[in-house]
Amino acid sequence: MRTIKILIEDDDLAEIREKVGQKALLETIGYLATWNLTTYREVRITAERNTDLVAYFTGPADGAVGYVIAAVWQDDGYGFHS
């Protein structure tokens, strides 16, 4: 089982949704929340800058961050970078 923490303030989330659209935002959060379900037990999703999202994945053993994916807004969609 995975714990998903979306650590974005309501006002910030509303601002991102206004800039990128609800569909793009929800699809991106969904992708980050479900990426590699079998390896990482927790994901923390945060907002960076005005539109970008960053997901921090922690492993089962010690809770240390094992992987990071940034979703970067590129005018018409998100690009993913690790």
pLDDT one-digit tens code per residue, 4-57? 999 999 999 999 999 999 999 999 999 999 999 988 999 999 999 889 999 999
Burial group, residue 11, by CB count within 10 angstroms (0-12, 13-18, 19+): exposed
Ramachandran category for residue 34: left, alpha or beta (phi over 0 → left; psi -120 to 50 → alpha): alpha
Per-residue CA distances from 70 to 1, 5, 14, 43, 55 (Å)? 23, 15, 19, 12, 6
Q: Provide the whole-model pTM.
A: 0.93
Domain that holds residue 77: 3-81
Whether 60 shows a pLDDT value over 90: the answer reads: no
- Per-residue confidence at 59, pLDDT binned at 50, 70, 90? confident
Give the tokens for residue 74.
């590129």
- Cα(41)–Cα(77) distance, rounded to whole angstroms? 27
Looking at the structure of the chain, the number of domains it has is 1
Q: Are strands 3-7 and 42-48 parallel, antiparallel or unpaired?
A: parallel
